[in-house]
Amino acid sequence: MKSINAKVLTIATAFAVVLSIPLSMQAQDAAATYKSKCAMCHGADGKKAAGHDLSGADVQKESDADLEAVIANGKAPKMPKYADKLKPEEIKGLVAYIRTLKQ
């Protein structure tokens, strides 16, 4: 009985590890994408673009769909559009990353 439980536990642990790898890679990818494509305007902490603090309440109260739309379609005059440069999953990842900047 004990050895069966140990086997089940080992298999369950292996599954958990395998499943968690893509998730953590996605989070790292989003952080790297943010650093390379967004931080020069928004700053590492999201506060650099005056009046458009990504960590602040005005941006954080927007829905994920609204933030995805801004990143995909851009916003005049200076926010570039990324629909043709990033995949939808990457844009979703960036929104999740922006949520981590919340204060």
The single residue listed with the structure tokens 């952080």 is 31
Q: Of these, 70, 72, 83, 96, which contacts ligand HEC (CB under 6 A)?
A: 70
Distance CA 89, CA 99 (A): 15
Stretch that binds ligand HEC, among 1-9, 10-18, 23-31, 47-55 (CB under 6 A): 47-55
The single residue listed with the structure tokens 């629909």 is 83
Tell whether residue 2 is a contact of ligand HEC (CB under 6 A): no
Tell whether residue 79 is a contact of ligand HEC (CB under 6 A): yes
Residue whose C-alpha is closest to residue 98's, from 48, 51, 52, 45: 45
Question: Which pair of tokens denotes residue 54?
Answer: 């990504």
Q: What are the residues binding ligand HEC (CB under 6 A)?
A: 37-38, 40-42, 49, 52, 54, 59, 67, 70-71, 75, 78-80, 82, 94
